[in-house]
């Protein structure tokens, strides 16, 4: 997570994430699921600007018309949580420039919450460590602690137990974001816990070794079939990606975004152009809307 201190405030760039591996291990008593997942931050960013508010209030402004800026927003909740736990009485004006699609499996809300904790910690000079901020973030959402351990991490529990990983090399990806989102809770309701879960050992090693071909072979998401069952319209996007023959492809999180793993930037450009031009669609009645073109991103370092 990148940030800059300016004379009148703090700017934070909040990255999206993709899941290269996601296994569901068990249903928990608290209604969550026990999971194991390998997450990687990518170069698609929301931007958050933080400035002092003399009244002590938290004011949130956003350029996305469909996103609530009320107390239910994770940004507002993160700011109020930091005030409460540190005893800080200072306020903030927060401006969010939204680029990460909503309900897309890219953790846009979680990364914004993490950026808020980090940005206000710096603005208010609260002095909390990244570890302490990650612990606070776990109270807001399962994915929030990951963003204090980027660029890559192995996450367990409900996703909040984070072990950082070193990437052996850059990963070029093309994100395909359909013009609709997914409800995470609904997808998890559809999932069946496997008797013999995948361990993820091979893909963890491949990521650390920078072995792109092995990473592509080992991509896995237990939620993908559940998401496609709940929303059959997703299948067309997966099929179109497959026709372009990337090194690997997968649904990120609970969807709706798929990503393609590419061997290079040039390969990512070829694949994104293929998506834009509808290569391989022919007369296929299940071809997706061409408006959902590819977004080229790179793993963050």
Both 155 and 254 in one domain: the answer is no
Both 161 and 273 in one domain: the answer is no
Q: What pLDDT does residue 31 have?
A: 83
The answer to whether residue 98 is catalytic is no
Domain that residue 20 falls in: 2-165
Residue 102 pLDDT exceeds 90? yes
The answer to whether residue 143 is catalytic is yes
CATH number of the domain bearing residue 292: 3.30.70.890
Q: What pLDDT does residue 282 have?
A: 42
Q: What pLDDT does residue 290 have?
A: 47
- Alpha carbon 114 to its chain's center: 12
Residues 6+ apart with CB under 8 A from 134: 144, 145, 148, 149, 162
Both 114 and 222 in one domain: the answer is no
Both 139 and 254 in one domain: the answer is no
Residue count of the chain: 301
* Axis-axis angle for helices 130-138, 108-123 (nearest 10): 140
Worst-scoring range by mean pLDDT, 73-87, 162-176, 243-257, 271-285?
Answer: 271-285
CA 51, 57, 60: angle at the middle one, nearest 5?
60
Residues 6+ apart with CB under 8 A from 98: 46, 62, 63, 64, 67, 108
Q: Which of 46, 98, 112, 143 is catalytic?
A: 143
Both 157 and 185 in one domain: the answer is no
Both 104 and 240 in one domain: the answer is no
Q: Please choose, from the candidates 245, 281, 280, the residue with its C-alpha nearest in 3D space to the C-alpha of residue 263.
A: 245
Both 6 and 152 in one domain: the answer is yes
Q: What pLDDT does residue 152 have?
A: 97
Which of the listed residues 109, 140, 165 is the one where a domain comes to its end? 165
Which of the listed residues 165, 187, 211 is the one where a domain comes to its end? 165
Both 159 and 183 in one domain: the answer is no
Both 239 and 116 in one domain: the answer is no
The number of folded domains in the chain is 2
Q: Which of 17, 46, 98, 112 is catalytic?
A: 17
Both 143 and 228 in one domain: the answer is no
Q: Which residue has the tokens 């909503």?
A: 102
For 242-289, write each residue's pLDDT tens digit. 999 999 999 999 999 999 999 999 999 999 998 888 744 444 434 555
Q: What pLDDT does residue 167 have?
A: 95
Both 110 and 45 in one domain: the answer is yes
Q: What pLDDT does residue 117 have?
A: 98
Residue 135 pLDDT exceeds 70? yes
CATH number of the domain bearing residue 16: 3.30.230.10
For 15-69, write each residue's pLDDT tens digit. 999 999 999 999 998 888 999 999 999 999 999 999 999 999 999 999 999 999 9
Which of the listed residues 121, 136, 165 is the one where a domain comes to its end? 165
Alpha-carbon distance of 170 to 264, in angstroms, equals: 9
Both 176 and 144 in one domain: the answer is no
pTM: 0.94
Residue 143 pLDDT exceeds 80? yes
């Amino acid at each position: 997570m990148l940030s800059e201190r300016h004379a009148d405030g703090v700017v934070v760039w909040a990255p999206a994430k993709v899941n290269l591996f996601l296994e569901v291990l068990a249903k928990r008593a608290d209604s969550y699921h026990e999971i194991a997942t390998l997450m990687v931050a990518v170069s698609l960013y929301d931007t958050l600007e933080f400035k002092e508010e003399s009244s002590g209030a938290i004011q949130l402004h956003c350029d996305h018309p469909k996103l609530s800026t009320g107390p239910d927003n994770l940004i507002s909740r993160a700011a109020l949580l930091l005030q409460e736990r540190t005893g800080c009485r200072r306020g903030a004006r927060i401006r969010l420039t939204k680029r990460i699609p909503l309900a897309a499996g890219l953790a846009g809300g979680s990364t914004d919450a993490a950026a808020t904790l980090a940005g206000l910690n710096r603005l208010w000079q609260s002095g909390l460590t990244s570890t302490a901020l990650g612990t606070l973030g776990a109270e807001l959402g399962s994915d929030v602690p990951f963003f204090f351990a980027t660029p890559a991490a192995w996450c367990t529990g409900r996703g909040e137990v984070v072990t950082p990983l070193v990437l052996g090399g850059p990963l070029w990806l093309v994100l395909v974001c359909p013009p609709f989102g997914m409800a995470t809770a609904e997808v998890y309701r559809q999932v069946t816990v496997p008797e013999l879960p995948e361990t993820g050992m091979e893909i963890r090693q491949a990521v650390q070794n920078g072995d792109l071909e092995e990473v592509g072979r080992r991509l896995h998401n237990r939620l993908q079939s559940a998401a496609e069952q709940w929303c059959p319209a997703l299948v067309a996007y997966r099929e179109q990606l497959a026709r372009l023959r990337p090194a690997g492809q997968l649904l990120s999180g609970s969807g709706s975004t798929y990503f393609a793993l590419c061997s290079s930037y040039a390969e990512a450009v070829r694949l994104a152009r293929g998506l834009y031009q509808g290569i391989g669609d022919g007369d296929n009645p299940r071809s997706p809307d061409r408006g959902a073109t590819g977004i080229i991103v790179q793993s963050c370092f």
